[in-house]
Structure 1
Amino acid sequence: MNNYRFIISGGGTGGHIYPAIAIADELRMRHPGAAFLFVGASDRMEMEKVPQAGYRIEGLWISGIDRKISLKNLLFPFKLISSLWKAGRILKRFKPDVVVGTGGFASGPLLRVASGKGVPCVLQEQNSYPGITNRLLAGKVSKICVAYDGLERFFPADKIIKTGNPVRKDLLDVKTRRVEAQAFFRIDPGKKVVLVLGGSLGARAINELVRKQLPLLRKNGVQVLWQCGKLYYEEFKEYEDNTVRVHAFINEMALAYAAADVVISRAGASSVSELSVVGKPVIFIPSPHVAEDHQTKNAQAVAAKNAAILIREKELDTVFENEFVSLISSEEKQEELGNNFRKLALPDATATIVDEIEKCIKPKEKQ
């Protein structure tokens, strides 16, 4: 048995964390004797989510640079030096065969030091517009696994492999779990369900939209399964009733997808990939506050294929009602969007990425 050693680094948001966990799960299935270590930012959500998935994690004192002038920016050089030094210690102690970066601030120092020491490194870029960390690392890694076409603008073409984004295996059979999902969320099987997702931390604009449109939703006879985010739960939990289920966070996401007839969602890369696999009709409301407006670009790539509806935040007051009523009242439109979206899915992405990671293990280090 090959007792390989893998370091996986990424985090900050669920969009970087869950792909990292999916990759680790596939590696662990193929190599039961392998050792794993995650490296994240010490004050971000990966420090909670990774141990919940059964993996050990170490944190670096690192964060991004604010776009506005702030005291936090003055600390950045010290954080970077600290993180580079700790990354070197982690690599010396753990001695990985391969390091995998899924994006986020912590992966920058770790992969920079690892590549400098000759450790094979693989990047996994989820978005149609790469983040700055992965763009800076691109020239130093062995391979870059991407989910969209056209990323030669940002990365060396000879390193790019289109794999799609990793998704959790439990999403591949959601069609068979609808009855289970209805019981789990206490849903009336006779009514349509709208699943609302604002990302792993929630989204103020989407929460306000749902609050404002509850009369419209009730008028159309739908139930609402609403993940509002931990930051907003205390504010929005009062809207819970027999037709509205309010959750700070939904851990059983496969069941949530199984229960849903229509989804209202942000357009982070992981959400887009997961929703393509489950093949649900989606209204994307991209966050306009992310780097390079990459969520809008993600959603545009899907909407251009008539596989989802894109509504910008600034258009919600004028566009949402008509788009929603048109969708919820048409089984044909729901089916068309869902089927078109499913055609864009790359359900074997995780396995393909792990194939590429395995190819990077140096022959002399194979046992």
Structure 2
Amino acid sequence: MKNLRVIISGGGTGGHIFPAIAIANTIKKRYADSEILFVGAEGRMEMEKVPNAGYKIEGLNVVGISRKNPIKIFSTIWKFQKSLNRASKIIKEFKPDIVIGVGGYASGPTLYKASKLGIPTLIQEQNSYAGITNKFLGKKASSICVAYENMERFFPKDKIVMTGNPCREELLSSNITKEDAYTEFNLNPNKKTILVVGGSLGSRTINKSIFSGIEALSESDIQIIWQCGKLYFFELNMDLASKGNPQNIHIHEFISRMDLAYKAADLVISRAGASSISELCLLGKPVILVPSPNVSEDHQTKNAMALVNKDAAILIKDIEANDLLVKTALETIKDKDKLKTLSENILKLAQHDSANRIVDEAIGLIK
């Protein structure tokens, strides 16, 4: 296929951006002459991450509806209307063969306008519970790629294709060793390691809960790799300094080599975003999930429960994390049988080659 032209729209968090880039990379591997344009939301993470990955991106001035401040709804509607006009202009100028939506603010106006213009659209729904926007877009979408069963609750059954969620290719490299990981993070190879991640933006609850148990952690015979996020890094560094900077606590604003971080980890503490869960499944990592309550339709809890129901993860509610997270983590990492069970069961849920399957579906939609 010559001169394939694809728009990929969405973003907001790494959980939307990394799968989108994985899809783009797969298209480029198959069709070297293809043209790919991303459409994101101005001021969001994708405006930095996508160009860093080597792709062009256009921004829409679009925001989500504020559930805490209904007064802002008028501003939101105004911005959405402007974004529809901007998306229409981008689509008409770029002339894509297909538009792929990966979730996030920008995917709404972009996919809506594409379908209105008669261009095939594909939704990549990452979560076990579809949000309002994707449910609406799904009525007109040509195909909907999903990662969980029973998604016919939200979408027309005949449009659903089970593909799984694409993951960052570098995470699956078999060339790295535990020794590489220990060296990268200055770890003791004789100690168990807990990796703490709160999503690409960081998690206030997880950070607060880890720090509240810092004495127990610092006195234990384990070590922590802790990605706290840009917003919390300075304050937590000061807090750790007040505790004497425990030598077994390794705090980072952001971890670029997540392949090495996962390799070092015997146990992971994480939010329950769909992309994070997909990565953990592929890697077979025991995990304690702390679903964020600040997401639409409480979809992270639903993502987590899909694993918990198969004894493939431990769930701690956000409201209980301060009291239970560190205690549960220390108990779990000492329980070899529990770690083995969690690892075996989460690995069974892995869906391989997701990006290729999504690209297969996209190509099949192009007339």
TM-score, structure 1 as length reference: 0.95
Question: How far apart in 1 are the matches of 2:362 and 2:184?
Answer: 37
Judged with a 3 Å threshold, the aligned counterparts in structure 2 of structure 1 residues 313 and 175 are, in CA distance, closer, same or farther, namely farther
Question: How far apart in 1 are the matches of 2:264 and 2:77?
Answer: 47
Q: Is the 8 A contact 2:210 2:325 kept in 1?
A: no
Task: Give the CA deviation at 1:70.
Answer: 4.6
Correspondence for 1:12: 12
Question: How far apart in 2 are the matches of 1:50 and 1:127?
Answer: 22
Equivalent of 1:360 in 349, 360, 365: 365
Question: Are residue 341 (structure 1) and residue 346 (structure 2) matched?
Answer: yes
Equivalent of 2:282 in 273, 277, 298: 277
Cα displacement string for residues 199-250 of structure 1 (whole angstroms, at most 9, x for unaligned residues):
1111111001110112222333111110101111111123255311111111
Correspondence for 1:250: 255
SS in structure 1 opposite 2:231? coil
Question: How far apart in 2 are the matches of 1:67 and 1:134?
Answer: 18
Equivalent of 1:299 in 304, 316, 322: 304
Judged with a 3 Å threshold, the aligned counterparts in structure 2 of structure 1 residues 175 and 195 are, in CA distance, closer, same or farther, namely farther
Correspondence for 2:208: 208
Question: How far apart in 1 are the matches of 2:339 and 2:42?
Answer: 42
SS in structure 2 opposite 1:100? strand
Amino acid paired to 2:348: K
Question: How far apart in 2 are the matches of 1:71 and 1:54?
Answer: 39
Correspondence for 1:33: 33
Q: Is the 8 A contact 2:208 2:322 kept in 1?
A: no
Question: Are residue 177 (structure 1) and residue 177 (structure 2) matched?
Answer: yes
Amino acid paired to 2:173: D
Matched ranges for 1:315-354 at <5 A? 315-354=320-359
Judged with a 3 Å threshold, the aligned counterparts in structure 2 of structure 1 residues 282 and 198 are, in CA distance, closer, same or farther, namely same
**What fraction of aligned residue pairs are identical, expressed as a percent?**
52
Q: Is the 8 A contact 2:205 2:321 kept in 1?
A: no
SS in structure 1 opposite 2:213? helix
Q: Is the 8 A contact 1:174 1:255 kept in 2?
A: no
Correspondence for 1:136: 136
Amino acid paired to 1:161: V
Correspondence for 1:57: 57
Task: Give the CA deviation at 1:172.
Answer: 1.9
Task: Give the CA deviation at 1:318.
Answer: 4.5
Task: Give the CA deviation at 1:40.
Answer: 0.4
Q: Is the 8 A contact 1:327 1:334 kept in 2?
A: yes
Runs of 4+ aligned residues of structure 1 deviating over 6 Å after TM superposition are none
Correspondence for 2:235: 235
Correspondence for 2:78: 78
Question: How far apart in 1 are the matches of 2:176 and 2:295?
Answer: 35
Task: Give the CA deviation at 1:324.
Answer: 2.2
Correspondence for 1:313: 318
**RMSD, matched Cα:** 1.4
Task: Give the CA deviation at 1:326.
Answer: 2.6
Amino acid paired to 1:303: V
Question: How far apart in 2 are the matches of 1:116 and 1:341?
Answer: 40
Give 5+ residue unaligned stretches, structure 1: 363-367
SS in structure 1 opposite 2:177? helix
Task: Give the CA deviation at 1:135.
Answer: 1.0
Q: Across the two proteins, how many residue pairs are aligned to each other? A: 362
SS in structure 1 opposite 2:294? coil
Correspondence for 1:365: none
Cα displacement string for residues 59-103 of structure 1 (whole angstroms, at most 9, x for unaligned residues):
001111111335532212221121111111111111111110001
